[in-house]
Amino acid sequence: MLGGFSQVNFDIQNLNLAVNEIIQDIVFIKSRRGSLISEDAQGQPLISPGKLAGVITFRLSRHHIAHSDYRCLECKERCVSKLNTEFALQCGIEFIGVQFETIDKLLQKELFYQLTSRHVNQETLGLVFDTINIFYKKPVEQHPA
């Protein structure tokens, strides 16, 4: 609460819609690709972390989950207007195990710009996140036996 009123409201219904679409997309990828997807030891399909992060980011970015209080419009700082896209990017990056802050600032801006101003889909985002995963993820430390 700031000044006696809420600055941001969260629409749980839109969040649930996004989560349902994420689940549907993943099911669709599994059924569409079938035997093209590798399997783990238990026979479960393995979809790349970047592909999953792309689906998560795309669907979250397309639903307006956070809304500003109408009085926020009087504010000169438009902090809430970018919140949905930033949230979606953070979720995707965190899903692949990379800290958003460690990614080059120019790449952060480019990702934000692409999500807000260009046509981008989960497939393209999946490739981007797989690449980020390769270049930014810290290698797992090997402990001597």
Task: Assess if residue 118 is contained within a domain.
Answer: yes
Number of compact structural domains in the chain = 1
Contact by Cβ (8 Å): 115, 61: yes
Domain membership of residue 2 (yes or no) is no
pLDDT confidence of residue 106: 94
Percent pLDDT > 70 in the chain is: 70
**Among candidate residues 9, 25, 21, the one with its CA nearest the CA of residue 60:** 21
81 pLDDT more than 70:
no
Containing domain of residue 47, as a range? 8-132
Look at residue 89 in the predicted model and tell me its pLDDT. 93
Mean pLDDT of 25-39: 75
Q: Is residue 138 one of the residues assigned to a domain?
A: no
Q: Name the DSSP class of 7.
A: S
Do the domain assignments include residue 43? Answer: yes
Residue 142 maps to a domain: no
Domain membership of residue 107 (yes or no) is yes
Q: Would you say residue 61 lies in a domain?
A: yes
- Using alpha carbons, select from 100, 96, 65, 101 the residue that is nearest to residue 83: 65
How far is Cα 100 from Cα 94, in angstroms, rounded to an integer? Answer: 7
What integer is the mean pLDDT of 92-106? 92
Residue 39 φ then ψ, to 5° = -120, 150
Task: Kindly report the pTM of this predicted structure.
Answer: 0.77
